């Protein structure tokens, strides 16, 4: 089954994504590393271009009670509303959940998951 996956590697804020619309965008722990507003805007612009209308977007970031750094890098923390606000009205918030993640080192880290659908245009 993995043979059918086409892996893309690059800086998501600036790479050229294939012109095909995606049904699903899943990000587990990338967005919270985008601490500069310009980087977050570029990321959201990529999602807007890449995901088809009606497509699904699942993003997980450190929650409001999560760590302020990860792997020595600063992060931005979110609650569900703040995370959805980054994506704006082009995405309907369908569901959100908080999750207590235990890192390999045994540290508990709060995450927030947001599931959105891109608005039909």
Its pTM stands at 0.91
Q: What is the pLDDT of residues 73-105, one digit of tens each?
A: 999 999 999 999 999 999 999 999 999 999 898
Residue 47 predicted with pLDDT over 90: yes
Q: What is the pLDDT of residues 56-76, one digit of tens each?
A: 999 999 999 999 999 999 999
Residue of higher predicted confidence among 59 and 8: 59
Tokens encoding 68: 């302020």
Residue 20 predicted with pLDDT over 90: no
Local confidence band at 4 (pLDDT 50, 70, 90 cut-offs): confident
Q: Give the start-end residues of each E strand in the chain.
A: 22-28, 51-62, 69-70, 73-74, 91-102, 108-118
pLDDT at residue 3 in the model: 85
Local confidence band at 18 (pLDDT 50, 70, 90 cut-offs): confident
């Amino acid at each position: 089954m993995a043979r059918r996956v086409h892996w893309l590697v690059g800086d998501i804020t600036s790479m050229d994504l294939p012109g095909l619309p995606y049904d699903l965008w899943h990000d587990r722990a990338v967005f919270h590393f985008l601490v500069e507003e310009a980087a977050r805007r570029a990321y959201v612009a990529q999602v807007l271009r890449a995901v088809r209308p009606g497509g699904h977007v699942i993003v997980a970031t450190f929650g409001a009670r999560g760590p302020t750094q990860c792997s020595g890098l600063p992060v931005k923390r979110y609650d569900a509303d703040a995370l959805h606000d980054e994506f704006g009205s082009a995405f309907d918030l369908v569901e959100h959940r908080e999750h207590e993640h235990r890192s390999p080192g045994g540290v508990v880290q709060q995450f927030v998951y947001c599931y959105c659908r891109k608005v039909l245009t």
